[in-house]
Structure 1
């Protein structure tokens, strides 16, 4: 079982540990309890584990919304402060690190404090608690030949993961992970993968450059993809052309339909006050749209010109460039599952002039650095003009470039040769950018199949605490070692934080093999590898056992060392493409520490850091950019931007990003005086006037995990 439920030792209540998502949280009661196993049938919604306890109250250490349904499942009310009379109830509490449901027979009241949510029963008695992991796994793997027409049949089954074709599928928990795809000589579909009849067809020429950009649409619309000449979407009696501007129109359809689903779903099981619904300029019969079948509903959505909808749309989260090669077919379910905008560039611009980025010795097939920049590294680093030093440099003898794989990595998945050249993808207008294919992309996450498969691994963990290892291998960089103080500043998550200095080669090998959730490495890297106390450890040449899950290699030109970590077992990490000066590297390291501690994933954390520090352009993400080391206390991850308007009034912008289980379409609200509306993620919430006292109270109560910018 992925979820363990145990009595608390130092308080009254239980500890809930989800071994799949690596989360732990506490549920408090008003008396000591002895949890008894209970069947799943106790709850209206499905659960993975359930217990019953005798108590008069249930309390969790976070501000949440409590949703109450009658015994037959009818939604009665939701909020954070209300009372209910005697009756039989199913209650959901959200957000929580797992889905959390209660079932009991009693009147009750809901109340919140500055940092807790509490349910008090009028009559103490038996309360059934149910928990469901937020983890999603594919139902199986489709085997298919990789020619475009055969692949269309596999892509047509991505939507089999949808748990509904209603607008509620815009909630991430009702979408499910698409089935995996792997190459094979014959087309085979597991029994558990069954097509969903949505009534929608996507017609594209049988070419990878047309097929790849529609995978997210095929998944979200449960659409059949068929070959044809003119790219288009077909429904019951309607046709929508996808040209001219095929990729742009495909992206527009995804964004428009998702937005309108989020508005329409307020007519269904979740009739909440949604800010985007209240402020839309669209004049539509939302109730009628909700009742229409999927194909008819989409046809009416697309009757609305995109130009009328575009001003209302939030900035989309992710664009993924997937090169139109058959070698990339296994990445398609992961890309579609993230609802990424997909492009499939046939050509790519090599980086001949790095425009000051300084991509070091990766600029071409020869790993060697230009002779003018080749320097031996003294023990205290390389000095720049003005006395600043960088965290590495090329040695006088360029080492042989050889990428090897560890035992845990597939021999076929995604390793980028050390001979790969830098490429410059076209700019994107989304928050995040990923790249699938040959080459080392500038300003984009180099996504690899091994890393995405590790996202699905549900191995048991031996402990519920989050482990962070900070390694500082240079005396002059000890200031960044203070980042250890920034990890573990959380109430609900337990951290084990260790700081180690001047590790030897063998100690570094042992550290990399340890079961660590996040490695924060501070030191030097050059073409000899990672600097250790007495020599270097080159991860591309050494056969290593890697246990580290995620990492920041805050050193010069650390791309290949980080890439080697991913290929040998890590999920993903942040690395550098060039030499980095020590002072800005220290600043960026501290920003990343705060964001990772707050639940940000690697891609979003680096996106935010780049906005704060211009030298952030020298950093990139390898592997699974969606990797996190813990969940945000507030569910979504938040960046607050606060500006002073007057002596007692401030202007606030809260930017909320999808993250982990709280993906696109999740509901969120900002818990601040006067703000009661719900928003769907991703969103920016603008509050023009916040009284100083309210702002101070909200920030002091730490109801958000965020990067705070004050102007």
Structure 2
């Protein structure tokens, strides 16, 4: 079983550990409890684990929305403060690290504080608690020849994972993971993968460069993809052209249709006050749209000019470049499942290292876009709260070869200086410079080492689906510092584990030799933070070098930061041999900015950020962040944030007076695109869908202080990165 439920030792209640998603939380009771197994059928919605306890109250350490249904599943009410008479009830809690349900027979009342939600039963008795992991697995694998027309039949089945064709499929928990695709001589579909007749057809020329960009549309619309000369989308009696500007048009259709589904779904099972519905100025019959079949509803969406809704659309999270090559077909279900905007560049621009604009000296990226819930169970009110760059010193930017003896005043670089003429990365690495994106995150699928993008790999994405049982219920972090001069960054151990309700095992080790380093890499560690030297001989150890590209190593580390010079190939080898993903460098990095970046990444990973978003935030603070990229699965996290999503706050205005707060909420892990979010500020009383940028004006200092006390998150004040736990409010 992927979920463990154990009694708490120091107080009354239980601890819940989801080993798939690396999440852990506590549920408190008014007396000691001994959880005993109960049938999963006790609950209206499906669950992975069910137990029963005897109690008179249940308390959750977060502000949540409590949704109450009758014994037959009829939705009765939802909110954070109400009472219900005697009866048989199914109760859902949002947000929570897993889906969380209670079933009992009693009248009850719901109350909240600024940190907790409490349910008090009128009559103490048996309460069944149900938990469902937010992890999603494909229904099977489609085997297909890789020619474009055969592949169209496979792409047409991606939408089989949708659990509904209603607008509620904009909730991430109602989309499901698309079936996998693998090359084969004959077309074969598992019995569990059944096509959905949505009435939508996507017509594109039978070429990879046209097929790949529509995979997210095919999945989200459950559309049939067929060959034709004129790229277009067809429904019952309507046609929408995808030319001119094919890739831009497909991105617009995805963003617009998803946005409008989020607005229309408020007419259905989950009527909430949605900010985006209030600000989107359209004279439409939302109730009628909700009742239409998918194809008819989509046709009416696309009758609205994109320019009309564009100002209200949030910045999309992810763009993925998938090279138009048949060897990339296995990545398509993962790309579609993330609802990524997809481009398929036919040509590749080699990175130009002339003129100081190549690897090692890249401009800091502008900040674009990220308390959330991903569950389609009513409004969510997360409990937490929800660019300047460093001055440049040319001595910090050493493109290999420089040593302390050659430049005594220079900030030391994190390479072992194996040769005086070594380049920014091993000679066989081909850098490519993808076209810029308008999204927060950027991934690259294909040959080459992308600058400023996540090098996504199939091995890493498959590991996302692995649901093997692990032994420990605590999150393990190993900090390895293999250089005396870099001990300052070793203090990052103090930054991991600064979380309530999440248990960390943190170990710091110094000066490991080859054997010890091999053992460390093989250990069952959730996150490895490596500080030291890397060069063309591998990772420097106390006695020699350990080259991960040559060694036959056993890798147990799940995610990592290799904060050393030129660590790309060593990190790529870790992913190839068993890790999910990590952050690596493309060039030599000076010690001082590397130390600062390491500390930023440590705090962000500890706060529940995924690898891609963590690096995105770090780049706002450090120009040297552009010397780093993510390899493998950029969506990897080591724990979940208190509110589920990833929160970044920008403060504007006079701190001695009322502040203006801009809260960015990024999709993160199971709390994906379409989750509902509501920040815990009195002056912000509406829901938003994720991704969101929420502007709250006239926030008093006392309210800002309470807000910062709720959760650990990054705060940019006057363009400088601070943290909510040490930001001083006068």
Q: Which category of TM-score, normalised to the shorter sequence, fits these structures?
A: over 0.9
CA distance in 2, matches of 1:339, 1:595: 24
CA distance in 1, matches of 2:400, 2:658: 55
Instruction: Choose between structure 1 and 2 for higher RCO, CA contacts under 8 A separated by at least 6 residues.
Output: 2
How far apart are residue 673 of structure 1 and its match?
1.8
- Matched positions, count: 682
- For each residue in 1:510-566, what CA deviation from the matched residue of structure 2 results, as whole angstroms up to 9, or x when unmatched? 111111100011111111111111222111121111111000011111111111111
4+ runs deviating over 4 angstroms? 381-385, 397-401
Alignment of 1:651-666 (within 5 A): 651-666=660-675
CA distance in 2, matches of 1:116, 1:534: 52
Alpha-carbon distance change, 383 to 295 in structure 1, aligned in 2, over 3 angstroms: farther
Corresponding position of 2:394: none
Tell whether the 8 Å contact from 2:27 to 2:60 is kept in structure 1 after alignment: yes
The answer on 1:305 being equivalent to 2:305 is yes
Equivalent position to 1:419, from 397, 420, 428: 428
Corresponding position of 1:396: 419
Corresponding position of 1:367: none
Corresponding position of 1:375: 401
Corresponding position of 1:368: none
CA distance in 2, matches of 1:31, 1:704: 28
User: Which of 291-300 and 689-698 deviates more?
Assistant: 689-698
Corresponding position of 1:558: 567
Tell whether the 8 Å contact from 1:37 to 1:52 is kept in structure 2 after alignment: yes
How far apart are residue 260 of structure 1 and its match?
0.3
CA distance in 2, matches of 1:617, 1:432: 13
CA distance in 2, matches of 1:657, 1:668: 10
- For each residue in 1:494-517, what CA deviation from the matched residue of structure 2 results, as whole angstroms up to 9, or x when unmatched? 000011111111111111111110
CA distance in 2, matches of 1:699, 1:473: 36
The answer on 1:387 being equivalent to 2:394 is no
Alignment of 1:195-206 (within 5 A): 195-206=195-206
Equivalent position to 1:704, from 703, 706, 711: 711
Corresponding position of 1:338: 338
Alignment of 1:489-638 (within 5 A): 489-638=498-647
- For each residue in 1:327-372, what CA deviation from the matched residue of structure 2 results, as whole angstroms up to 9, or x when unmatched? 00000000000000000000010113265355379xxxxxxxxxx9
CA distance in 2, matches of 1:57, 1:450: 45
CA distance in 2, matches of 1:248, 1:278: 27
Corresponding position of 1:681: 690
Alignment of 1:106-117 (within 5 A): 106-117=106-117
Q: Secondary structure at the match of 1:110?
A: strand
Alpha-carbon distance change, 14 to 654 in structure 1, aligned in 2, over 3 angstroms: same
The answer on 1:284 being equivalent to 2:284 is yes
Where does structure 1 lack aligned partners over 5 or more consecutive residues?
Answer: 362-371, 402-415
Alpha-carbon distance change, 126 to 282 in structure 1, aligned in 2, over 3 angstroms: same
How far apart are residue 399 of structure 1 and its match?
9.5
Alpha-carbon distance change, 668 to 360 in structure 1, aligned in 2, over 3 angstroms: closer
User: Which of 330-339 and 472-481 deviates more?
Assistant: 472-481
Q: Secondary structure at the match of 1:389?
A: coil
CA distance in 2, matches of 1:118, 1:382: 64
Q: Secondary structure at the match of 1:262?
A: helix
Q: Secondary structure at the match of 1:284?
A: coil
Alpha-carbon distance change, 289 to 471 in structure 1, aligned in 2, over 3 angstroms: same
* TM-score in terms of structure 2 length: 0.91
How far apart are residue 486 of structure 1 and its match?
0.8
- For each residue in 1:358-387, what CA deviation from the matched residue of structure 2 results, as whole angstroms up to 9, or x when unmatched? 5379xxxxxxxxxx966386xxx6775743
User: Which of 21-30 and 482-491 deviates more?
Assistant: 21-30
The answer on 1:485 being equivalent to 2:494 is yes
Tell whether the 8 Å contact from 2:401 to 2:420 is kept in structure 1 after alignment: no
Alpha-carbon distance change, 227 to 116 in structure 1, aligned in 2, over 3 angstroms: same
Tell whether the 8 Å contact from 2:399 to 2:587 is kept in structure 1 after alignment: no
How far apart are residue 301 of structure 1 and its match?
0.2
Tell whether the 8 Å contact from 2:141 to 2:182 is kept in structure 1 after alignment: yes
CA distance in 2, matches of 1:503, 1:382: 25
Corresponding position of 2:168: 168
Alignment of 1:57-136 (within 5 A): 57-136=57-136
CA distance in 1, matches of 2:173, 2:592: 42
Q: Secondary structure at the match of 1:390?
A: coil
CA distance in 1, matches of 2:427, 2:401: 21
* TM-score in terms of structure 1 length: 0.93
How far apart are residue 590 of structure 1 and its match?
0.8
Corresponding position of 1:366: none
Root mean square deviation of aligned Cα:
1.9
- For each residue in 1:575-624, what CA deviation from the matched residue of structure 2 results, as whole angstroms up to 9, or x when unmatched? 01111111111111111011100110000100011011111111100000
